[in-house]
Structure formats: structure tokens, C-alpha cells
Structure 1
Amino acid sequence: MGRSVLVLNSGSSSLKYALYNLEKSAKCLFRGVVEGIGASKSLIAHKNAQDARDVKLQGINVTNHRIGLNKVWELLHLDKDLSSSICAVGHRVAHGGETLTKPALITDTVKKAIEKAVLLAPLHNPPNLEGIKAAEELFHCPQVAVFDTAFHSTLPPYAYMYALPLSLYMELGLRRYGFHGTSYQCVLDQAANLLLKPKNNLNVIICHLGAGASMAAIRQGNCIDTTMGVTPLEGLVMATRSGDVDSGVMQILASEKGLSMQEINTLLNKESGLYGICGDKDMRVVLEAAQAGSEKHKLALDVFVHRIKKYLGAYLVHLEGKVDALVFTAGIGERSPPIRSMICHGLNAFGISLDHKKNYQDTNEKREIQSSTSKVKILVVPTDEELCIAQQTLELLSTIEPKSV
């Protein structure tokens, strides 16, 4: 148990965590979430991943991340062996800006850089910092930041630049950064193993489809384009986010509806997407309602799939038709055969052909689901961002403090 890494993902009102023992294999020991931080009543759901024992604490008062993490500390230490097993804490940090492009040992300088990137991720980086500060007080071991934007640092300038005045990029760093990077790294590694091909020789298009959704085009193991931008709002239609929208809409909403910029931001991020079109944000509910004849739910599905296929076409061009695999991951990508079928429908001319039986196979294992005639592999690859953060944390420590781990 001497090589356990605690992974923390601090949101504005939540704290997700997972503890991995990486001594001999990637084994999850515990995982859980603290919800309702700052609310009058909070909830902690703590699960022993080894024997599926659950602990739920409801109605407790967790006013900040420090108190929430202290509760997690107490739950973890119900197993006394854990008191000396945690060798490091790995933190998911949403935005690293242009300077933090790989996992970093957290220092005052790194914390200042994360704080500087708050301008680019005002909803995510502040609670990420809160989680870091709380963990530093409780866990006297190395702390490592793993950045959601890092994977996309290989984007060429023509892919990440917006056609805005160059001064805005120079002064404010306004450019495409991309997100879900830790997930992409995890999925790319697994895809390479599944295809028995070195990662740096791999050309793939990955569809990370969940409540938050994005896509990435990867050439020879490096990301060359992605759908999310300076924030996670750009790109695909999501559960409650609009994705791509004409910026002129903001002026119309301000002048005709009298909405403030904060209200517009809330509308685009929390009241749009699938929810905005049909009133539901759970893809399972949307599919069921569409199949039952609801026109607005069918419309939401069509818009969702259309946007994905639009980017898929662009990425096929970016990769010059040399694609080893189309990869589906995250909640919808992994568990929704109908969505995968809708996306792949009509793509035979591009060498993409789905096997219906394989697509509907009831399993959580990574697998191939293309037909025997498909020129492009179609993969379903489960993502485990927490495990990837734990592994990157330990890998970094092994290079800078080999004796300590």
C-alpha cells in the first residue's frame, strides 16, 4: 500500500476523489464525492471499490473544500493502513494556460500560474486552487497538478488561433486550448494497446461524448485539432451547453431580452444544449422520448449528431483520410449504441462501417465494433481520468524524486 495516490477533482460545489494503489497494478481502493459544498445540507458518497461497501453521509454541513476534504480524510482513515500509504496527491486542474503543458509538482510558482489562468477558466480554476490548498494542509506529501488543457498543447498555431486582433492573443491569451485532455491521453494509450500499434504512429479521431462533449483529431499521437476552445463552451452540443453559436446571438439577447453578460453566460452554459431544445439533458431520456414520438426530442438528437458529424468530416480531411480508428468514449460514447449508430450511419464511403451486433454487445470492456468491410476501426474505449491522473502523478515523482516513491 506504499504507492497509493489520492486523486482530487475540486468543483465549485463538489469534490470528487479516488484512491489508487499503484504498487503492482492500477487498483482503485476507494472513490467518492462530496456534493453541496457551501449549501445548507451536503452529501458524501464514499465507496470501497474492493468490496463495494458504501458509506453515505447526508444532511451534514460542509461549508468549504477544507472541511469537505477533512471528511474524506476521516473516511479514508477508517482503514488504518491508509494512514501511511498515500505517497502523493494528484489534482485535476482545468486550465494551465500556455505555460503549464505537462504535469507539474505544485509550488508557489505553479499556484500563481494556475491563478493567472483564472481569467480563462473562472468557473473551474478557483475551486481547483481551493482543493490544492486544502490538500496541502492535510496531506504532507508531494502534490501534483495535471492539467486538462495539456494534451492539446501540440495544436499548431493555425488550429488554435482565433481570427481576432492579434493583440488580444498577446495580452489575454485568447486562443483555443481544448479540454478533456486527461481523458484523451488515457483513451489514446488504450487504443494503441488495442490496435497493437505504437502511439506515435497512430492517427485517430476520438469522440468524448458525455454531459460535456468534445472531439479531437490526433496525428501520430499528437493532437492537431479539438472542438472546445478558450473555454469548454465551444464545439459540440452538450447536455446544457450550446456549443458553437454565432456570437451575434449575445448582442441580440442583450438588446432584445435585456440580459446581462452573466445571464447570457448562464444561458449558454446551463440552459442550452439538449436541455435547451427539448427540456431534458439525460441522453437516455432524450432517446426514449424521441423513440416515443416527441418531435422536440428528435430535433435535439438530430442537432447533437449533426454537429458531431460536421466535425468528423473536418477531421477526416485534417488527417488526409489516413485514419486508423474512430474512437468513442465517456458516458454516452461508451454506453449508447443508438448514438454510435446514428453517428456512423452513411459513412461507408469514408471507409467507416459499423457492425450492428458488436455495437449492441452488452459489455464495459474496450472493444472493436466495426464491420468486416470497414477500412477504419471503430473502437469503444472506457475512460478513467482519475487513474490517468494517478499514473501521471507517480510518473512525474519518479523522475524528480526517485527515492521517495
Structure 2
Amino acid sequence: MPDQQAIKLSYTTHRQQAVVRLDFAYDAELIEIVKQIEHARWSQALGAWYIPKEQFDLRLFFEAFRGKAWVDYRELKNANKGQPITTPVASKAHYNPKTFKSKLSAEVKSQIQSFKAWMEQKRYAPNTINTYIHQLEIFFGYYSDKDPASLINDDITRFNTEFILKYGLSATFQNQTVSALKLFYEKNLSRQLNIGEIERPLKAKPLPKVFSKSDLEKFFRCITNPKHKMAMEIIYSCGLRRSELINLKLEHLDSKRKTLSVINSKGRKDRVIPLSERTLQKIKSYYREHFPKIYLIEGQYPGKPITASSLQKVFEKALQKARINKPYTVHCLRHSIATHLLENGTDLRIIQELLGHKSSTTTEIYTHVSNQSLQNIKNPFDDLDL
């Protein structure tokens, strides 16, 4: 094996999309190369870089890292069982983000950096900051011959048509661009764009994927490491997001009140979750055996939280061991407890509070995937004398 940094490729799912995951030890040079690969994005949830499977081309990936890293693609090869891994790219137009970013004037770069500093001070989520800055750099690079102050709604519409649609970019990309521009103009140029006049793409509303209870039982039985099992059980039992589990400290647990506090979560909100007696006893047993110092689930080093990438690997390994061939993600555990609570008769408002949803509309999506609700429907076909 060459004496080089290794990049391991594997298939997984991210936001209900099949992707190729890139795993490698931190290396600034390799990260810069990844940033130049079209469609490559960083995921806080995965704790890794990824490329949508349909846009991934192994040949081009090898070229990008030739002489820089050893590419381990054995998992892709095994998963495809001899089928080509590369994706034909000749029929689709491509763009290089670096080309557009290089066209930015010093003045525009300064405005964007000022905007970034403001977002950081306002404590926007890191993913939001990175996404908005990326969108602004592409947009203003596209209009590098114009002053941002002179751009109007028609320019955004033209960008949608001549850039986003031309390169087959997603509806999410389009919405993120509009949102980034709206905030940028309000903050930096003290004027508002007439966003209502700009056509936004229809938003997809995919239903959440939910574990059946039999799949859940198989999944949990296949996790033998007590720490890993505790992590997955807490995510399901308490309906936590992955980041909430990672940041869960011992001080957030109250055994007397039988509660768990989620601090500074999505939307900078706190919430309190009741612990079932069984969950509480499992937590106490786990603590007595492993004595975590600060975080309930700690990683390789005492006092440091487990990483998102470690959780993802534990999850994928358990799915594989349980022979569950469904596109589940870690977040599906959260979807599953919400749906199962609903099927057990829990009020939707209570589920909303447990999950920390800002709007009840978000929680109502679980009514569409509840098996109990669907099975209670009486089909008129059954009344026909046939």
C-alpha cells in the first residue's frame, strides 16, 4: 500500500439521498482538493464529506487525488458487484465553483467576509454560514462585472435560468441562493429584495422513513458495545437529534425528576424530556459500568464527546449485521419514536414538545406514516358484494 493518506469511499444515505461518503484523517491539502470537486459537500450530520451517488465519477475522483492520496474504493466495488462505478458525465454540463469565486473583486470579497462575521456573531449554525457564503460567492462571481448594489430581482431570475437550471442544480440550491441573497441585502446593503416576486421551486415533501418495531429489535440486538447501544437507545427513546446526543452532558440528566434537558439545540432552544423508568435504569447501569466524565456518551478520549462520524459507523455496522436492507439513517430513530408514540395514542401536541418542533405542522407529518391510522381506514371496496 502506498505511503500516503488514505481516503475510504463507501455508500450511505444523507437527507434521503444516496451518496458516496469520503472518510480520511484531517489533512488541509486534501480538504482543499475535495472542495474543488463538483457536488462535494461537507455534512455536519455525517461528520464527513460526501458526493451524491448520481454525480459521483470514480475516474475523475482518482484524477483529483493522483499522487496525493490512496483511494480505497473496495466497498463501492463490492456493493456494485462488477457494475461500473463511474457516472457518465458527457451529457451533463458542469461548472467549477473555483472559477466563479476567482472572479470576485476585493471589494465584494470584503463585503462577503463582513457578512460572514455578522452571521457568526448572530450565532447562525456553521452549516448555514458555510452554505450561504458559498451561494453568495457563486452568485456574485457569476455577476462579477456588476456592482452588487445594482443587481435587481430580474438578475436573480436570470441566474436561476442561465445557471441553476443549465447545470441541473437542485431545488435546494435554488432556495438557498435566494435565502442567502435576501439576508445579505438586508444586512449589507440595507435594502430588501422583493423575494415574493421571485419564483421559488416547489418544495418536495418526502415522508419520514420509520423503523418497524421488529426491525428496531433486530437493530438494537446487533449492537454489542454497551456505549454504542446506549447512544442509539437514547436517540430513539428520547427522540434526540444526532447533535443533541453528542452534546448531552451528565449535568443535563436529573434522576430524581426523571428528566433529560436538551440545551441550546436547533433554533437555540432548550427543552425537557421525561425519561421512562426503563431508560433511566439503563442510564444508571451504563454510568456505573463506564463512569463517563463529562458527556453521557464519550468518544475515544475521556471527557470528549463521541463524534458524528463514529455514530454513523456504529449505525451502519448494526444495520448490516442485522441484515436490514432499507435506507434508514440515524435520524430515522427520531422519526420512529414520534410515529410509535402517535400510534400508542400520544397527543400530537405532546410529541411536538418532546421533539422540539417550532410548529405543529412539522409534527403533523407523522400522521401520514402512522400504520395504525392507515389500518383503521375502512375501505368501501370491502362492502361490495363481489
Q: Under TM normalisation by the shorter chain, which class is it?
A: under 0.3
More helix by share: 2
Q: Computing the radius of gyration over CA atoms, which structure comes out larger, 1 or 2?
A: 2
TM-score by length of 1: 0.25
More strand by share: 1
TM-score by length of 2: 0.26
